């Protein structure tokens, strides 16, 4: 059974402070067209559960279409690290993450999803270097960012990208136990995209 770990996209979804509100409307109704309802979406590429392309924080960085889709499908490990402000290398070392290419970190730190949190846990730089050294290629969080909310320089976004680690944000992992899963979280084929909403799904691996 696949489990949906995506935020639902409705007109009340919280967005990054100051960012474009999400909107879905029926632009042309069935009555108007005589045949079909046609919806219109307005949204930031960083709405809800989404991936970041390096172009989000680097003008020379890859855009969504340039990202390898294989990153976003395959086995993933979920670890539960609640009640921390800083996620440290030592702690990750203890989790025996060898051979993990997709790592999802459940922090439980974004409790009220109707608003953006003021502060969120982050990885220390040594932890990013450690994950890169063991071969992690995708990191996902149940958080709206991999940097502090007020950060303008986005050091973790840059360090992850330069280490070859791709970013998945805004997962809903509330009820998901630690363990080994299959993940699907594919971005849209946005040619100019700096990010893309995804439908993120998990399936428990037997074992
Ligand atoms: N600064 C922003 C301003 C407007 C919209 C989004 C942001 C973000 O940085 C979003 C977050 N860091 C993200 O990677 O989704
Ligand atoms: Zn983002
Ligand atoms: Zn981000």
- The two structure tokens encoding residue 124: 């220390």
Residues 116-133: pLDDT tens digits?
A: 999 999 999 999 999 999
- CATH fold of 3-204 reads Glucose Oxidase; domain 1 (3.50.30)
Average pLDDT of 75-95? 98
Using a pLDDT cut of 90, give the percent of the chain over it: 99
> Which of ligand 1's atoms lies nearest the C-alpha of 46?
15
H or E element: which one contains 199? strand 195-204
Residue 169, number of CB atoms within 10 A of its CB: 20
For 207, other C-beta atoms within 10 Å of its C-beta total 5
Q: Domain-by-domain residue ranges, the chain?
A: 3-204
Q: Whose CA is nearest to atom 7 of ligand 1?
A: 16
**CB-neighbour burial class of residue 197 (10 A; exposed 0-12, middle 13-18, buried 19+):** buried
Q: Is the pTM of this model over 0.95?
A: yes
With vertex at residue 177, the alpha carbon angle to CA 67 and CA 185, rounded to the nearest 5 degrees, is: 20
ipTM of predicted assembly, 2 dp: 0.94
pLDDT exceeds cutoff 70 at 207? no
- Ligand 3: distance of its center to the CA of 169 in Å? 7
Tell me if 46 CB under 6 Å of ligand 1.
Answer: yes
What distance in angstroms lies between residue 93's CA and the mean position of ligand 1's atoms?
Answer: 29
pLDDT at 39: 98
| Mean pLDDT, range 164-177, rounded to an integer | 97
Write out the residues surrounding ion ligand 2, Cβ under 5 A: 46, 52, 169, 195
Query: What is the per-residue pLDDT for 197?
Result: 98
């Amino acid at each position: 059974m696949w489990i949906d770990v995506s935020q639902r996209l409705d007109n009340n979804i919280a967005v990054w402070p100051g960012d474009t509100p999400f909107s879905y409307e029926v632009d042309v109704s069935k009555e108007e067209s005589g045949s079909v309802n046609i919806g219109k979406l307005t949204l930031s590429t960083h709405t809800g559960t989404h991936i970041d392309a390096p172009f989000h924080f680097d003008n020379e960085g890859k855009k969504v279409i340039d990202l390898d889709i294989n990153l976003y499908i395959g086995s993933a490990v979920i670890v539960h690290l609640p009640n921390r402000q800083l996620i440290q290398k030592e702690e990750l070392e203890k989790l025996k993450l060898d051979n993990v290419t997709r790592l999802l970190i459940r922090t439980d730190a974004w409790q009220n999803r109707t608003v953006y949190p003021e502060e969120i846990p982050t990885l220390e730089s040594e932890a990013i270097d450690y994950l890169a050294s063991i071969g992690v290629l995708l990191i996902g969080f149940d958080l709206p960012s991999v940097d502090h909310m007020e950060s303008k320089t986005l050091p973790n976004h840059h360090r992850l990208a330069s280490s070859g680690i791709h970013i998945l944000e805004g997962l809903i992992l509330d009820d998901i136990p630690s363990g080994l899963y299959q993940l699907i979280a594919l971005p849209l084929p946005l040619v100019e995209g700096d990010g893309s909403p995804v439908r993120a799904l998990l399936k428990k691996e037997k074992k």
